[in-house]
Amino acid sequence: MAQIFHPSTNVLANVSLVAVVVLPLGLLVGGSAISRSPWNTHVGLAKDQPAPFSHQHHAVELGIDCRYCHNSVEKSPYSNVPSTATCYTCHSQIWTNSPLLEPVRNSVATGQPLRWNQLHTVPDFVYFNHAVHVNRGLNCNVCHGPIQKEMMTYKGKPFFMAWCLNCHRNPEEYVGKREDVFSVYKKYQMDQPVVEDEAKLSDEEKKKLADTHLTPEQAALMDSGDYKRSNDEVEKGKELLSKYKVKKQQLSDCSVCHR
């Protein structure tokens, strides 16, 4: 009996069997890579704004406290962007003829507010409260990346659910003292070296050090780097959880964020 299929059909059949396994896996891996890439998350990509604003210039070079512009961040679920009046408090006296600030002057003249392009967003079904996190000692850089370094503001973290859950499941690794949330930028502005070994210092020297020098954890945070707390630091984190009356076992409940 004559052969019906050409011998090359065997190769095609084998390739098809491999493709059935490899193709779905490749699509899964490729889709995941695309969804987590800056192309989709926009991490590290600055957006055009109505007027250029440099956090590095204002927060570090001029030493302006974050709360001067974002004055609701400690008491509101939402962190406000500054109004034109806030900008014009300074810029009615400084850089009054700068072409870069023409949108600000037009806003004052017309009464039309500047419309800033939002960078950091969560889905509509996710509830996030800025005040709760700030008042538990979480510094801005934990979520926003090295904001004090940014000449043009960009999104610093991807805000994946797994990333949020890591903090909610291990809050003792992240909570801090409320007074350190904003004072860390003053220390960063001083540009003091980090002291690794504090054991040899006297209590008076340690107290002075705490007011002027970044801790290793704070230095990593200012650089947006990862930091693994020591056992002693984790224990202090647990003490803060108790002080703040944070119930760790409830932080992973769906209803905490999905309302």
pLDDT at site 126: 93
More confident residue, 34 or 181: 181
Helix orientation angle between 84-91 and 102-110, rounded to the nearest 10 degrees: 120
Q: List the chain domain ranges.
A: 123-257
Residue 119 makes CB contacts below 8 A (sequence gap 6+) with: 42, 47, 153, 154, 155
Q: Are 218 and 198 in contact (CB under 8 A)?
A: no
Q: Are 51 and 153 in contact (CB under 8 A)?
A: no
pLDDT at site 233: 94
Q: pLDDT tier at 142 (50, 70, 90 boundaries)? A: very high
**In Å, what is the CA distance from 67 to each residue of 73, 74, 77, 227, 249?**
7, 8, 14, 26, 32
Q: Are 181 and 88 in contact (CB under 8 A)?
A: no
Q: pLDDT tier at 5 (50, 70, 90 boundaries)? A: low
Q: pLDDT tier at 30 (50, 70, 90 boundaries)? A: confident
